[in-house]
């Protein structure tokens, strides 16, 4: 099955492009309003994006010699004002679909249903399109998805925290649970592996964050240092150099603020030999975690930790991020209990968890 994305100013124009390239047997998988163009993110124009599919084996209907009336999607409106709503365009598009969906070899409802299931799992559009393109009539969405993702697994490295590196930096946006994750990692290392551990926190924006980590330090009977600047950070490293593992908790700020990462680099020396892990929430949308990853691109990220897996049944965003950037996941957390609710995880395990959520049809 051939899957292609089309963009146009209006739905009728998008439908016209679909018909011209894929023919009247095309199946519309998805349509949405998008913005493009502009300057420095301003003055972007609204448009419509349509994803359509076509079975390559479906024969094209021979052209008619007469001059029939043009179908409705070829009759463009006299004027498309800024006040025209997306709803109007989509209503028009739905009428045009009746003329486009005529395939006898493609089960339209099955393909559209598969697209919606994969979209609900927050898989990226290119991955969804690749999976859909491999489907044929009667094929299983679960089986096709697992086969394709498993074939791509070699691109994603296995990840685990390198305990030979004495220091671990936990970075990430606010609200993902970095401090609790730091406590879980420390407790696991101390209680299950017998390592001597310590904490450094650079999260000096919130008094509660310092108190929270200090509470964990007391419970584990391990030292903790607070770093307000790069000098404090380097001094803390020197004080704790005899420890097997030092976990560095960092401030969570609005990742959309470009100054956040710069401020982080003014407190932590990422050039020092250390493991840096980006902590993300499993409840976040793909576009959000992609934005976070991009914002931290100046920092050497060695692996990922996904939190709040118990609050989400969607694994596609995590899978898509790993595939897009060839980066592995070292841990996943599933609750607030320290140290129990943390586990190592591999990319194949994520695939199994995602496909479990899909239908067998």
Q: How confident is the model over 82-141, as pLDDT tens digits?
A: 444 444 544 444 444 444 444 434 456 777 888 889 999 999 999 998 888 887 766 788
Instruction: Please state, in angstroms and rounded to a whole number, the distance separating the CA atoms of residues 2 and 27.
Output: 10
Nearest to 146 by CA among 359, 361, 320, 355: 355
Summarised one tens digit per residue, pLDDT across range 311-343 is 988 899 999 999 999 999 999 998 777 777 888
Of residues 138 and 238, more confidence is placed in 238
The predicted structure's pLDDT at residue 271: 76
In a domain, 13, yes or no: yes
Q: What is the pTM of this model?
A: 0.71
Burial of 310 from C-beta contacts in 10 A (0-12 / 13-18 / 19+): middle
- Do 208 and 327 share a structural domain? yes
- Do 255 and 317 share a structural domain? yes
Q: Provide the 3-class DSSP secondary structure of residue 323.
A: helix
Of residues 331 and 35, more confidence is placed in 331
The predicted structure's pLDDT at residue 122: 92
Under 8 Å CB-to-CB from 263, ≥6 apart: which residues?
253
Of residues 253 and 20, more confidence is placed in 20
Q: Is 29 within 8 Å of 54 (Cβ atoms)?
A: no
The predicted structure's pLDDT at residue 97: 40
In a domain, 142, yes or no: yes
Nearest to 160 by CA among 354, 352, 344: 344
Range of the domain at 316: 167-345
In a domain, 34, yes or no: yes
What value does the mean pLDDT take over residues 145-167? 84
Average the pLDDT over each of 27-31, 93-97, 266-270, 347-351 and give the range with the smallest value.
Answer: 93-97
The predicted structure's pLDDT at residue 312: 87
CATH number at residue 307: 3.40.50.300
In a domain, 150, yes or no: yes
The predicted structure's pLDDT at residue 129: 87
What value does the mean pLDDT take over residues 186-212? 88
Of residues 163 and 273, more confidence is placed in 273
Of residues 31 and 306, more confidence is placed in 306
- Do 322 and 223 share a structural domain? yes
In a domain, 265, yes or no: yes
Total tally of structural domains belonging to the chain = 3
In a domain, 94, yes or no: yes
- Do 353 and 291 share a structural domain? no
- Do 337 and 201 share a structural domain? yes
Instruction: Please state, in angstroms and rounded to a whole number, the distance separating the CA atoms of residues 288 and 317.
Output: 9
- Do 320 and 174 share a structural domain? yes
- Do 354 and 323 share a structural domain? no
Chain position carrying tokens 């609790």:
180
The per-residue pLDDT of the chain, averaged, comes to 80
- Do 179 and 146 share a structural domain? no
């Amino acid at each position: 099955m051939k899957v292609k994305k089309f963009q146009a100013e209006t739905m009728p124009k998008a439908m016209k492009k679909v018909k011209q390239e894929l023919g009247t047997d095309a199946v519309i998988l998805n349509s949405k309003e998008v913005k493009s163009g502009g300057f420095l993110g301003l003055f972007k124009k609204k448009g419509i994006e349509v994803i359509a599919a076509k079975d390559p084996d479906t024969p094209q209907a021979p052209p008619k010699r007469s001059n029939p009336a043009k179908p409705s999607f070829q009759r463009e409106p006299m004027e498309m004002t800024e006040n025209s709503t997306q709803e109007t365009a989509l209503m028009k598009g739905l009428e045009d679909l009746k003329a486009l969906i005529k395939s006898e070899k493609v089960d339209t409802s099955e393909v559209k249903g598969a697209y919606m299931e994969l979209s609900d799992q927050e898989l990226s559009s290119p991955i969804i399109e690749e999976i859909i393109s491999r489907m044929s009539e009667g094929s299983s969405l679960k089986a096709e998805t697992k086969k394709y993702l498993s074939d791509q697994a070699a691109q994603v490295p296995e990840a685990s925290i390198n305990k030979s590196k004495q220091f671990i930096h936990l970075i990430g946006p606010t609200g993902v649970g970095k401090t609790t994750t730091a406590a879980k990692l420390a407790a696991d290392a101390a209680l299950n592996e017998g390592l001597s551990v310590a904490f450094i926190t650079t999260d000096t924006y919130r008094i509660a964050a310092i108190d929270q980590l200090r509470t964990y330090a007391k419970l584990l009977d391990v030292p903790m240092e607070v770093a307000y600047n790069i000098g404090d950070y380097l001094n803390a490293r020197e004080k704790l150099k005899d420890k097997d593992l030092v976990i560095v908790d960092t401030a969570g700020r609005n990742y959309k603020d470009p100054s956040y990462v710069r401020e982080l680099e003014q407190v932590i020396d990422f050039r020092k030999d250390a493991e840096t892990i980006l902590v993300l929430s499993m409840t976040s949308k793909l576009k959000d975690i992609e934005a976070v990853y991009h914002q931290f691109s100046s920092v050497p990220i060695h692996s990922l930790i996904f939190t709040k897996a118990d609050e989400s049944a969607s694994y596609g965003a995590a899978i898509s991020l790993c595939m897009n950037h060839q980066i592995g996941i070292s841990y996943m957390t599933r609750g607030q209990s320290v140290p129990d609710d943390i586990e190592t995880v591999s990319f194949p395990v994520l695939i199994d968890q995602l496909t479990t959520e899909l239908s067998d049809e």
